[in-house]
Amino acid sequence: MTGRLSTLAAAFVIARRDFTAILFSRSFFFFLLGPLFPILVGGLAGGIGQEVKNNAARPELGVAMSAADAKALLAARQRLEPQLGSAIPELVVVKETRPGEAFDAAAAMQDRRVNLAAVVTGSLEKPLLSGPKERIAAWRGPVAVLAAEAQRAGGTDYPAVDLAPVKLATTADEARSRMVTAQLGQTVLFLLTMLLAGMVLSNLVEEKGNKIIEVLAAAIPMDAVFLGKLFAMLAVSFVGITVWAGVGGAVWLGAGGSLGQFPAPAVGWPLFFILGVAYFAMSYLLLGSLFLAIGSLAATVREVQTLSMPVTMLQLVNFFFASWAMARPGSAAELAAMIVPFSSPFAMLARAAQSEALLPHVLALAWQAVCVVVFVRVGATLFRRWVMKSGPAQSAGKGPWQRLGARLFSRRAVR
Amino acid sequence: MKLGEWQMAGNLGAADEAGAGRPLAIEAPLAIEARGLVKRFDGFTAVDGVDISVPEGAIYGILGPNGAGKTTTLRMLLGIIDPDEGVRRVLGHDRPHEISHAIGYLPEERGLYPAMKTYEAIGFLGALRGLPLAEGEKRGKELLEEHGLGYAIERQIRQLSKGMAQQVQLLGTLVHEPRLVVFDEPFSGLDALNQGRLEKMIREQAAKGTTVIFSTHVIAHAERLCDEVAIIAGGKVPFAGPVDVARDRIRPQVRLETRATEGAWRKALPADARHEGNFWLFSLPESGIEPLLRALIEGEAGILSLSIERAGLHDAFVAIAGEAAARALEEGNGEEAR
């Protein structure tokens, strides 16, 4: 015979099974690939957009001059480009004219085979710029500079100018920058939490379908089943995040990126990451335990969707509330966002980006941990009360909401 | 009444009354004691005051028609759900989960993880009961070999037939060598061959001293296997006790063949006597067989054959469960009239 398992040991048995089962499943593979799809689609759309922008937004300046003038103008542009960059237009020689030959600039600009915004004719000494009024007004100066440079024929040496960037941020600038970091952190936290809470719910419904849940409930306390499932999914998510962060970080660093490009959070990057992981865990455990309680009400995946929709919406409201409160540091709204369990992780992560104080984080994490324990216990109790029943189906044919109502308002004599 | 008082009083109602004369019930300590268990779902009373006492080492059957409350009773005994009223004690513990490592349970709705291999599934079920996973998997392989399923060790559950998966779950229920095994409708879904194997396995477990409880609505299994039974009908237990006592609840059946068909002796036959073919069939009169025999001889009935047959458990079950159902119906009607 064997020895009795403690609740934690029993939760470990469940977590170990779920963790390995999920890790080696196809769904985890797709879970890992999850962020790739928006990146791919975004990249593709961005690439196409850039191409279109390049083609449409960078019109060229046509040159219709004598061969010598046109050549000198092109050479001048080449010399000036390192100094002036996009301030000077792209040049396209549309025609090398003979002396005294007239050129129809309007006709050239209407030719759809080229993308001419204006045309310069005449000579280097007396250039004539033809085109829409705004365009020629904007290019008047650059054309004059190009013509002058062309006449000088490269005689001028431009001195190299050394650059010394200086960061001069005001307090307001710094606060605004940190707000960006806070907002980014909140959004990532919210998306990850919703993704995982949905997964843990599907996992539970699947087990109800497999009829395994009764075997589990008979062997170990339901609290242990819930805890095991929650922590297994949390561990899976950490694996996923590690892979995403590893690959994403490598690509980012490979592309010459660095964290310095983002506004640094008030507590510093290392602590911000640690707090991010802690708040992610708490946010997920809070929402996951709520979703597990919902799982106890639902008999099918469709019912899960029906019942979880309002909770998802409510979580969205919490997220917006925390985001809104973030912009009002020190206000009652921020305090409320930090206390309400479901918005607390978002609000606190935003605070980590904006304020150096650490004690509020210790208190918030302790408070959130207490809420997790309470939610898991309540969820487990509801599960045992509502799921493990047999005999005639009293509620058969009722929808999930009717069933919820019947269960909540029926008279019960509980020991 | 609290459980302790109830034990002191030593009067377990129907269970004790029926258990008289069965050394197992009197001398053996109880593996399960339950008193006044009540469970309601959405206003419907699924179990209504169930008392059960299961002696350690016994094979105990819980018999009842479909929807009688068998599964709910077992779930309460195992701590899967809590009773709304009443007390239970399993292997000396008020909270069944405290002793779950000594219990094995096969629910009516079988379930295993489809992606697991057979030995992994057995190991996992053992781990839930406190057996180290590696040890459970090792024992799982051994059990599969012992029970002729060695060829399926590396197969996933989803690749097995329903009957095979059920056997694997059964082995998982026993892998940690529990002191108490509870099977809910274990014979359903099994073919005759596997039903025979399961009966053999249950006897082997009992021979090792394990207490075995199973629910069924097929009486033949209980009659062959059980030391004691509880009959549940309409959420109540109208009978609990040894199988022989259940059979004695209905009077033995008399089968009489006479040469004469008419005569004054006919007045001596009990009121329930009916004529089928060449035979008279009736329950043994309370006064015994001698007065009837005397009347038949004096009335020159010409007795050709006479046999007295003890009732089977099936007849007893139908009579007891039927009576209870009828009584429940009457009570319901009475309440409605009030």
So what's the pLDDT on residue A55?
Answer: 57
Q: Which residue of B has its CA nearest to A224?
A: B128
Quote the distance between the C-alpha of residue A413 and its chain's center.
49
Percent of chain A with pLDDT over 70: 80
Verify whether the Cβ–Cβ distance A388 to B81 is below 8 Å. yes
Give the angle subtended at the CA of B145 by the CAs of B141 and B148, to the nearest 5°: 140
**Cβ–Cβ gap B111/A407 under 8 Å:** no
Report the pLDDT averaged over residues A334-358. Answer: 87
Per-residue pLDDT, averaged over A170-189, amounts to 73
Alpha carbon of residue A152 to chain centroid: 53
The DSSP bridge partners found for residue B257 are B279, B305
- Rounded-to-integer distance, Cα A56 and Cα A26, Å: 44
| pTM for the full predicted model | 0.70
Ranges of H-type helices in A211-221: 213-219
Of A179-193, B28-42, B322-336, the poorest mean pLDDT is in: B322-336
Distance between first and last Cα of chain A: 32
Output B311 or B118, whichever has higher pLDDT. Answer: B118
| Least confident piece of the model among A118-127, A157-166, B84-93, B97-106 | A157-166
Judge whether B88 lies within some domain.
yes
Q: How many CA atoms lie within 13 A of B126 on its CB side?
A: 27
Residue of A nearest to B71 (CA): A390
Residue B6 has pLDDT above 50, yes or no: no
Mention every residue, 6+ apart, whose C-beta is less than 8 A from residue B11.
Answer: none
The answer as to whether B302 is a domain residue is yes
Residues A254-279: what's their mean pLDDT?
A: 80
Q: How confident is the model at residue B207 (pLDDT cuts 50, 70, 90)?
A: very high
- Shared domain for B44 and B168, answered yes or no, is yes
Residue B93 is given by DSSP the state B
CA distance B220 to chain A (A): 23
Domain shared by B236 and B263, yes or no: no
pLDDT tens track for A392-406: 444 444 555 555 555
DSSP H helical ranges for A34-132: 36-57, 67-84, 105-110
CA distance B133 to chain A (A): 9
Size of interface A-B (CB pairs under 8 A): 127
Q: Residue holding tokens 């969820």?
A: A379
Provide the pLDDT confidence category of residue B278 given band limits of 50, 70 and 90: confident
Residue A7: how many other CB atoms lie within 10 Å: 14
* pLDDT given at position B331: 57
* Residue B57 and residue B204 share a domain: yes
Contacting residues for B173 by C-beta, under 8 A, at least 6 apart: B104, B105, B106, B125, B181, B183
State whether B111 and A211 contact (CB < 8 Å).
yes
* A-chain residue closest to B175, CA distance: A1
The answer to whether residues B136 and B213 touch, using CB atoms and an 8 Å cutoff, is no
- Residue in chain B closest to A14 (alpha carbons) equals B128
| H/E stretch holding B165 | helix B162-174
- The CA distance from A348 to A334, in Å, is 9
Q: How confident is the model at residue B35 (pLDDT cuts 50, 70, 90)?
A: very high
Q: What are the phi and psi torsion angles at B276 (to 5°)?
A: -130, 115
Is residue B15 domain-shared with residue B140, that is, in the same domain?
yes
List, for residues A17-34, the tens digit of each pLDDT value: 999 988 888 778 877 887
Residues of B in contact with A216 (CB under 8 A): 128
Domain shared by B105 and B58, yes or no? yes
H or E stretch at B244: helix B243-248
Given a cut of 70, whether residue A133 has pLDDT beyond it is yes
Per-residue model confidence as pLDDT tens digits over A58-101: 678 899 999 888 898 888 888 888 888 778 888 888 888 888 78
Instruction: List, by residue range, all CATH 3.40.190 domains of chain A.
Output: 60-152
Q: Which fold has domain A60-152?
A: D-Maltodextrin-Binding Protein; domain 2 (3.40.190)
SS (H, E, C) A24-42: CCHHHHHHHHCCHHHHHHH
Q: Does B233 lie in the same domain as B263?
A: no
Distance of alpha carbon A272 from alpha carbon A350, whole angstroms: 10
Higher pLDDT, B315 or A256: B315
| B144: its two tokens | 């599969």
Q: In the predicted model, what is the mean pLDDT of residues A195-221?
A: 78
Q: How many domains is chain B partitioned into structurally?
A: 2
What is the CA angle B29-B232-B271, rounded to 5? 115
Q: How far is B68 from chain A (nearest CA, A)?
A: 8
Identify any residues that bridge with B240 across adjacent strands, giving them in sequence order: B230
Residues 6+ apart with CB under 8 A from B167: B147, B149, B194
At residue B173 the predicted structure's pLDDT band, cuts being 50, 70 and 90, is very high
Instruction: Answer whether residue B82 shows pLDDT above 60.
Output: yes
What are the two backbone dihedrals, phi and then psi, of residue B50, each rounded to the nearest 5 degrees?
-85, 130
**Going by DSSP bridges, is the β-strand pair A60-65/A90-96 parallel, antiparallel, or unpaired?**
parallel
Q: How many angstroms separate the CA atoms of B58 and B77, rounded?
A: 16
Residue A195: CB partners within 8 Å, gap ≥ 6? A31, A34
Q: State whether B7 and B155 are in the same domain.
A: yes
Q: Across the interface, which of A10, A218, A391 has its CB nearest the CB of B69?
A: A391
Contact criterion met (CB < 8 Å) for B179 and A10 = no
Ranges A115-119, A185-189, A296-300, B286-290: which has the least confidence? A296-300
Confidence check: pLDDT of B214 > 80? yes
- Verify whether the Cβ–Cβ distance A210 to B83 is below 8 Å: no
In a domain, B68, yes or no: yes
Confidence label for A411 from pLDDT (cuts 50, 70 and 90) = very low
Q: Which residue has the higher pLDDT, A389 or A312?
A: A312
CA distance B240 to B19: 8
Measure CB to CB from residue B102 to each of A1, A211, A215 and give the nearest one.
A1
How far is residue B126's CA from residue B101's CA, in Å, rounded to a whole number? 9
Q: Measured between CA atoms, how close is A10 to chain B, in angstroms?
A: 7
Q: What percentage of chain A exceeds 90 in pLDDT? A: 8
Asked if residue A106 lies in contact with residue A130, where contact means CB atoms within 8 angstroms, the answer is: yes
Residue B93, token pair as written in the block: 């513990």
Co-location of B267 and B233 in the same domain: no
**Chain A interface includes B105 (CB < 8 A):** yes
Helix or strand or coil: residue B48?
Answer: strand
Residue B27's pLDDT band (boundaries 50, 70, 90)? low
pLDDT at position A3 is: 73
Residue B322 resides in a domain:
no
Average pLDDT on A285-311 reads 76
**pLDDT tens track for A96-125:** 888 878 888 888 888 777 778 889 988 888
Give the B window 20-39 contacts with A, CB below 8 Å.
Answer: 38
Residue B49 is assigned to a structural domain of this protein: yes
Shared-domain flag, residues B214 and B77? yes
B189 in the same domain as B54: yes
Instruction: Provide the pLDDT for residue A356.
Output: 84
Residue of higher predicted confidence among A404 and A356: A356
Domain that holds residue B280: 251-309
**B99/A218 touch (CB, cutoff 8 Å), yes or no:** no
Interchain pair A21, B179: CB under 8 A: no
DSSP-based three-state secondary structure for A22: helix
Percent of all residues in chain B with a pLDDT value above 90, rounded to a whole number = 49
CB of B88 less than 8 A from some CB of A:
no
Closest by alpha carbon to B47, among B14, B11, B86, B78?
B86
**B148 with B154: CB under 8 angstroms?**
no
B215 touches A: beta carbon within 8 Å: no
3-class DSSP assignment, residue A166: coil
pLDDT at B327: 61
By Cβ distance, the residue of B67, B101, B177 closest to A3 is B101
Q: Who contacts B291 (Cβ-Cβ below 8 Å, separation ≥6)?
A: B268, B285
Range among A176-185, B69-78, B188-197 with highest mean pLDDT value: B69-78
**Chain B residues lying within 8 Å of A412, measured CB to CB:** 40, 84
Residues B260 and B293 placed together within one structural domain of the fold: yes
Minimum Cα–Cα distance from A11: chain B residue? B128
